[in-house]
Chain A
Amino acid sequence: GAGVSQSPRYKVAKRGQDVALRCDPISGHVSLFWYQQALGQGPEFLTYFQNEAQLDKSGLPSDRFFAERPEGSVSTLKIQRTQQEDSAVYLCASSSDRVGQPQHFGDGTRLSIL
């Protein structure tokens, strides 16, 4: 595709519900990243995939957060038993395989937990 596509753009869920956020990276991009951006803050790293391998999940805040990229393309970030503190914008980015290459971001999913 022409750019990184994320869906849904907005998601409202009740506390305790499970949610799934989708990211479709730029075609051919090996690396995929998820970030969480709280209101008024800079994005914070959650997890990183190289193809289908999840190489770094050190930023996931709890075991309620789970990410996958089974075929090395589309990725899904799942949050189980959502809490109010999970409310944030979730950004996905992709890049080519070379270290230091710029990451290209999607428009993000704004998640609101009621």
Chain B
Amino acid sequence: AQTVTQSQPEMSVQEAETVTLSCTYDTSESDYYLFWYKQPPSRQMILVIRQEAYKQQNATENRFSVNFQKAAKSFSLKISDSQLGDAAMYFCAEAGTASKLTFGTGTRLQVTL
């Protein structure tokens, strides 16, 4: 069975600073995909970034990047130049060949002035 662990229930960052959200996972599959989703109060899950496990290069999307450590089963999200609009719940998720997502419990990110 797949499990995803987010050990930081809440994080805070000042505007324009950098913050890193942690995620570890466990899976028995050799081929899998990792995701970070953002959920604002409006409830809609918004894809932030996606990583294919077979790729060694860390994914980046503008101000968002990941540190993917496959041997350690770690998948952290770095947000650079934080903005007020980044405040939300962030969920780490894993999907194997069955495609269904297994989510962590989330990290609430606060952005302060």
Contact = CB atoms under 8 A, between A and B. Distances in A.
A44 interface: yes
A36 to B, nearest CB: 11
A43 B103 contact: yes
B103 A91 contact: no
Given A42-B103, A48-B99, A103-B101, A108 B44 contact: yes
A99 B52 CA distance: 11
Interface residues of B, number: 27
B91 interface: yes
B105 A45 contact: no
A44 B103 CA distance: 7
Interface string B31-46: 1110101000011111
B45 A100 contact: no
8 contacts: A41-B106, A44-B103, A45-B100, A48-B98, A91-B43, A100-B50, A105-B45, A105-B46
